[in-house]
Amino acid sequence: MRGVVRVLVADLLAERRPHRADAARNFDAILAAGRIAFAAGGTDVSLDEIARQAGVGVATLYRNFPSREDLVEAVYVTEVDELCRYGERLAGRGDPWDALVSWLRRFVGYLGTKRILLDALDRESGAFRACRDALYATGEPLLARAQQAGRARADVTVDDVLRFFLGVTSAPVSSRRQRDRFLAMAVAGLAA
């Protein structure tokens, strides 16, 4: 199931990505510029500025992403795909607990920087649901391996873990150090 769900997320971008090499480069440049711009200025940043940063005309941006929501969704899907790829690289390798904690730390970092994207997405869209399913499908085997090794609590599900870590990341913090302490407490609470 994990591979199937992740493929669905990757397909969301692949079906939109142009086949011509120059058009694909423009598509990728717009995504990269959008990622940086949204992280720095939120989802209300000027699309003209994103096109300029990508080195393309605004018409090229709109040809690839007809609306702001389309670009936000594509950036979000790209981020989720990268997080899932990272989890797949960790699966079956090394210490099960270290793999789970490493993925959860990346998940928390991802949530911290992508909350703006989450707020701008249609949570009923097929893309959002596919991304959520992919995150669960990636985290579940990592958790199961850590549980089988006796390192993670046996009485929790991947849904419990992801919602718990989502809650930890949404709490306002006064500093990065405080966020790191919250994360350490959450990890300790997950340990067997």
- The model carries a pTM of 0.82
- Superfamily of domain 2-13+68-190 in the CATH hierarchy: Tetracycline Repressor, domain 2 (1.10.357.10)
Q: What is the dihedral of CA 12, 13, 15, 20, to 10 degrees?
A: 180
Mean predicted lDDT score pLDDT of the chain: 86
pLDDT band at 108 (very low <50, low <70, confident <90, very high): confident
- The answer to whether 99 touches 142, Cβ cutoff 8 Å, is yes
80: Cα within 13 Å, side-chain hemisphere? 31
Distance in angstroms (rounded) separating the CA atoms of residues 7 and 12: 9
Distance in angstroms (rounded) separating the CA atoms of residues 91 and 138: 9
**Chain segment 131-173, per-residue pLDDT in tens:** 888 999 999 999 999 999 999 999 999 999 999 988 887 778 8
Given a cut of 70, whether residue 121 has pLDDT beyond it is no
Distance in angstroms (rounded) separating the CA atoms of residues 192 and 190: 7
